[in-house]
Structure 1
Amino acid sequence: MSIPLPFRKPSARDRVRQEWIEERRREARMVVADMVHHSDYLVRLACNVLVQHGETPEEREDARILLVVLDAKTPGRLPAPDREGRS
């Protein structure tokens, strides 16, 4: 979230960037709100958007906590088995 400087007018590029971020934030909120119908990958992506661009500290923290829960549910890749089939 960028804070506008008081001595500088926002440029068209700044406005477009902010609109783009707001649209991604809306999409991320929709995915999280209906997460049972979305893949873990998409929910993780939505949470990452909210962690970085959430409007409030509570929203950012909730998204971070949800990422921790998702990581506990699917803890990364398991080690590849060796030639004898052991991990």
Structure 2
Amino acid sequence: MVNARHGGNRHLGESCLRWAFCAVRSSPGVQHYYEALRGRDKTHSQAIRSVANRLVGILHGCLEHGVLYDEAIAWPQSSAAESVAA
């Protein structure tokens, strides 16, 4: 049996999930990634958490390398489906 973790900053976690939900509705690249996850039988909640996790990773990369966010680089259509399949 797997128990849910209750640690971490609840407000930050909720903000990341809201960010992911809004990104799925407004970004074609994120929407494609979300739909690919749903196609792999992930629930809505699991897919949104995966999107949020990837968005945080992309944000970290942008901050670490001092570059601006570019959707074409962050969510390339060909590799998005491949990374979900892995």
Give the TM-score normalised by the residue count of structure 1: 0.33
Kindly indicate whether structure 1 or structure 2 has the higher relative contact order, using CA contacts under 8 Å at least 6 residues apart.
2
Give the TM-score normalised by the residue count of structure 2: 0.33
Higher helix share: 2
